[in-house]
Amino acid sequence: MYLQRATGRHLCAGHLAEEVEGRVRETMAADGMPPGGSRVAVALSGGKDSTVLLSLLHGITQESGGLDLVAITVDEGIAGYREETLRAATATAARFGVPHRTGSFADLFGGTLDRVVEGQEHRACSLCGILRRKALTILARDEGADCIATGHNLDDEAQSVLMNWLRGDRDRLLRDPLQPGQRGFLPRFKPLREIPEKEVALYGVIASLFSPMPECPYRHTALRGEARAMLNAMEQRFPGTLERVVQGQRTLARGAAGGIPAPLGACARCGDPASDHLCQACRLLEGGSFRPVRHR
């Protein structure tokens, strides 16, 4: 029996699974995502969130049709970690009969994450996040995808909000995450965004989707690790904190008068949307550790 502390309800395994599936369907319906007939690139890392995501989207597609799924996996080049999760991603895609495409930092950008962050491991998560988003976009476009689905859960969303506050990132705090992306972006959807991480993991256990995977060795070296610890402590003391943090940011963004960032231009190197002459990824690649990203 699982105690859902934010609501005070006790749920058996069957009802917890039904609730997770129902909330994912509600999220997709509320966001209008993705339209029928869409080719959806599912970001599949091999971890619990992306594995559950692919399982749920496959089930929805089997029931109602309308989606053409392809799994895409990025190999950042993290020794002792990525090898096992890549095997898990390959097995998961095969289990559901979904085409699977992989791409590596080494192939796309000319270097592995381990090599580039040696001696500056505290930058690993920030650098990895920027380039992984770029890599997913490249792979999805190569596969003719109309959109990308990612496994971000409620905990991830709350952590991002707190990190934006701590960094003083006004633009991201005033950006409504539920509004359509600006022209030029490949749309990204987060079907698990209302589901706490614990419930995603429990759903995976109930559905026998995975065995324990190793943690990324860089997980605790960056700001997100601190944000995770702070929010977990607050959620333990004050159930519902995660949801209130996320809802508060959305309310702030929708109520901001004249504070919405100006429309983005195009990156001079790759053509993707950018607030400056170069997008974040190309600006990072200019440093010389990787080779410039190819235009798509």
CA distance 235 to 287: 40
CA distance 82 to 214: 9
48-87 burial, b at 16+ Cβ within 10 Å, e below that, comes to: bbbbbbbbbbbebbeeeeebbbbbbbbbbbbeebbeebbe
Task: Say what the pLDDT of residue 273 is.
Answer: 83
CA distance 21 to 58: 12
Run means of pLDDT, 10 residues per run, the chain, 296 residues:
89 94 93 85 95 96 87 94 92 96 93 86 85 94 95 95 89 73 76 96 92 80 85 95 93 70 77 85 78 53
Q: What is residue 39's three-state secondary structure?
A: strand
Q: Which fold has domain 18-264?
A: Rossmann fold (3.40.50)
The structural domains of the chain, with segments of one domain joined by +, span 18-264
Q: What is the pTM of this model?
A: 0.89
Q: Is 213 exposed, middle or buried, given 0-12, 13-18 or 19+ CB atoms closer than 10 A? A: middle
